Structure 1
Amino acid sequence: MAHTLLLVDDEEKVLEFMEPFLRQEGFQIITAKTGNDALRKAKEKKPSLVVLDWMLPELSGIEVCRELRKMNRMGIIMVTARAEETDKIIGLEVGADDYITKPFSLRELAARIRSVLRRIEGPELSEHQIERGELSISESQCRVWKRGKEIPLTPTEFKLLLTLASRPGIVYSRLQLLQAALEDDILNDERTVDAHISRIRKKIEDDPSNPIYIQTAYGFGYRFGDRL
C-alpha cells in the first residue's frame, strides 16, 4: 500500500514543484496551504508523513508540528529557508524527525522521506522487552514506560533510545548513532543527534541536566548507563 504524504506550504508553486515528482515516486499526496488546514487534514486522512513548511499563515510550522506530535506516529520533515543551526534544532526539539533547507532537490527530499518512513516502520522486531532501571522498553510495540507510565517518543527518539539501551556502557559516536538508529550517514548532520538526545533526556530523566540513563562520553559521543 502506498504511503500518504501531506505536503504543507502556503506557496502554490512549491506544492506544484513537489507533488508531481512525489506521485511519480509512488506516494499518495494531500496538500494544505495553512496551519489549520494541515491539522484538519492530518486528523482526517492520517498521513504516514508530513512535509511541513516553517512559515505558514494562521499557525506557524512549529506550532503545527507540536500539535501533530499529539496525534499518531506520523513522520514530520520540516522545510525551512532558515539555515542557522539554532533554527534547525528548534524544529527537532518540537518533534520533527528531520529538516531540509530551501532550496533543495526533489531527489534529496524523496530520500529523506524514505529514511524517516523506515524509522517509523522499523525492522520486524521480536517479542522482547528491555528493563533498564525504571524504564521498560518494548521492541515489538515500539513503546517505553517509566514507573508504569508510558512515555511518548517519536520514531527517531525510540530508535536512538533502543540502540543505546540495548548495549549499556558502550559508547556510540554521533556518526554511529546516525548509521545504527537513523539509518542515515550522508543526508543528516551529526549535530542533529544532540538535539534528539536532548529531547529524549527531557522525557526519561528525572533531572535532564544530570542524566543517569543517556550519558555523555565527552569527546566521543553517548552511552547508556550500565549501573542502573
Structure 2
Amino acid sequence: MSSTSLLIVEDEPKIARLMADYLQSHGYDVTTLGHGNQVLPWLETHTPALALLDIMLPGTDGLTLCREIRARWPSIAIIMVTAKVEEVDRLLGLELGADDYICKPFSPREVVARVKAVMRRSQAAVNDSPPTPPAPLTLNEAGWQAVAQGQDLGLTAVEFQLLKVMMQAPGRIFSREQLMDHMYRDNRIVSERTVDSHIKKLRKKITEALPEQEIIRSVYGVGYKYQPEG
C-alpha cells in the first residue's frame, strides 16, 4: 500500500476529474472508477490508502461498498461523498465504518483538506499502536491453508473462507447472514445453522492446535468474531 494512493468512486465524470486533478496536484496517486460493481474486483489487486465513495452509484451503492471495504480491507481509510444532507445518511455512513464525509456541492480545496486530515489520523493511529504480538494463526491464501504452531489445520474451503473473513477484521462481530454471504457467493439459500456447524468444526480444529486459546468467540444473539486472547 502506498501512503499517497487514492481511489475515487464517482459516477459523474466532471466531478471525478475535478477531484482527481486537485488531489494529483497535491502529490496523490489517484485512480477513478465510475461504477459500484467495479470497486471490489479492483480492490482484489490494489490497496489504496484511502477511498472516496459517492453514496449514489450505479450498481453497488456507496454504503454497501463502505461496509464491504471495512470488513475485508480494514486498513483502507474511507470518506463518503453525498448529495444527501439528511442526518441519517451521514450517520449511517459513519456507523458502517467511514472515517469522514463530504457533502455536495463542495470545493476541491475542501476535498484535499479532508483527505489530508483523514490520512494524518490514520498514520497517527498506526504510529501510536503498540507492537503487535505474533498472530496465533497465519493464513497461506495461495495454498488455502491456516497454520498454528507450525501445524496445518486442514481446513475445508468454506472453513478457510470463514476464518479469513473474520481475521481481516479482528474484534468485529459478524452476523450469520454476513458470514453466509462470504461463504456462498452464488447466493444459494442455506440455513443459519449451517454457519454454526462450520464454526463448530473450525473451532475444533483450532482448539486441537491451540488448546489454551479461544480464537473464535460467540456473541449471544448476534454472531461470531475473531479475537485472540492477550
Q: Is the 8 A contact 2:3 2:49 kept in 1?
A: no
User: Are positions 1:67 and 2:58 aligned together?
Assistant: no
TM-score, with structure 1 as normaliser: 0.55
Q: Is the 8 A contact 1:77 1:100 kept in 2?
A: yes
Displacement of 1:71 = 2.4
**Structure 1 residues 26 and 10: CA distance shift in structure 2, 3 A:** same
The secondary structure found in structure 2 opposite 1:107 is: helix
**Structure 1 residues 80 and 67: CA distance shift in structure 2, 3 A:** same
User: Are positions 1:139 and 2:130 aligned together?
Assistant: yes
Percent identity (aligned): 40
Q: Is the 8 A contact 1:9 1:56 kept in 2?
A: yes
Which residue in the other structure is 1:42 paired with?
A: 43
| Amino acid in the other structure paired with 2:171 | I
Gaps of 5+ in 1: 126-137, 143-148, 154-204, 208-228
Displacement of 1:115 = 1.2
Q: How do 1:1-228 residues align onto structure 2 when only pairs under 5 Å count?
A: 3-72=4-73, 73-122=75-124, 124-125=127-128, 139-141=130-132, 150-152=170-172
**More helix by percentage:** 2
* Larger Rg, first or second structure (1 or 2): 2
TM-score, with structure 2 as normaliser: 0.55
RMSD: 2.6
CA distance in 2, matches of 1:109, 1:150: 30
Q: Is the 8 A contact 1:22 1:110 kept in 2?
A: yes
Q: After the TM superposition, which of the residue ranges 35-44 and 69-78 deviates more from structure 2?
A: 35-44
What is the aligned residue count? 139
Gaps of 5+ in 2: 134-168, 174-218, 222-230
**Structure 1 residues 151 and 29: CA distance shift in structure 2, 3 A:** same
CA distance in 1, matches of 2:131, 2:105: 38
Question: Structure 1 segments of 4 or more deviating over 4 A?
Answer: none
